[in-house]
Amino acid sequence: MKPTDSQLISLYQKGNEEALSTLIHRHQRELFTFIFYKINDQDLANDIFQDTFMKIIVMLKEGRYNEEGKFILWAKRIAQNLIIDYFRAKSKNTKVSETTFNNEEFSIFDLIREPSENIEDQLVTTQIHEDLLKMLHFLPQNQQEVIKLRYYDGLSFKEIAEHTDMSINTTLGRVRYALINLRKIMEENNIILTR
């Protein structure tokens, strides 16, 4: 039987480093996805993800973990605070709008662009593509079409507009609504597309 998060934390606080590794592995996907959705930047998400786990380690070692809620909710609160700190620091230099923080233009397809992939990454990417294709079937036909042309065939918005006899604005609108709908499908079905 798998140990609970609380048991792993207790083991780690008693000096069992393997317990921490198990805990991180168990939650890294959900936590990274949470961070990425907030900031829409892969490199920055990785940095904040690392900082979050460094802070978690320090707080666990200092015995500052409270059992009020689940570990993952506690971890997300830490990540959320780090994200807020980042945007506060950034806004001192440039004004950050609310839409930057919760960007509606987020594309789940950004998650599958990897310049140099090893075999394992390629398999993950293939699985993500397959999952996305299944999800596309839940979209209206016109949204399916623009998504396939844009992200699978690599056409520009101008090329899609010409190919489908639509204006650029209609094309952009359909892609945007398709991505918003895919995001809803992911949230409703607890689908996580990340490595």
- Average pLDDT value for the chain: 76
Q: Work out the pLDDT band at 120, boundaries 50, 70, 90.
A: low
Q: Work out the pLDDT band at 96, boundaries 50, 70, 90.
A: very low
Are 178 and 132 in contact, with CB atoms under 8 Å apart? no
Confidence (pLDDT) at 97: 40
Q: State the sign of the Cα–Cα–Cα–Cα dihedral 100, 105, 111, 116.
A: negative
pTM, two decimals, is 0.47
Q: What is the pLDDT of residues 10-68, one digit of tens each?
A: 888 888 888 888 888 888 888 888 888 888 788 888 888 888 888 888 888 888 887 66
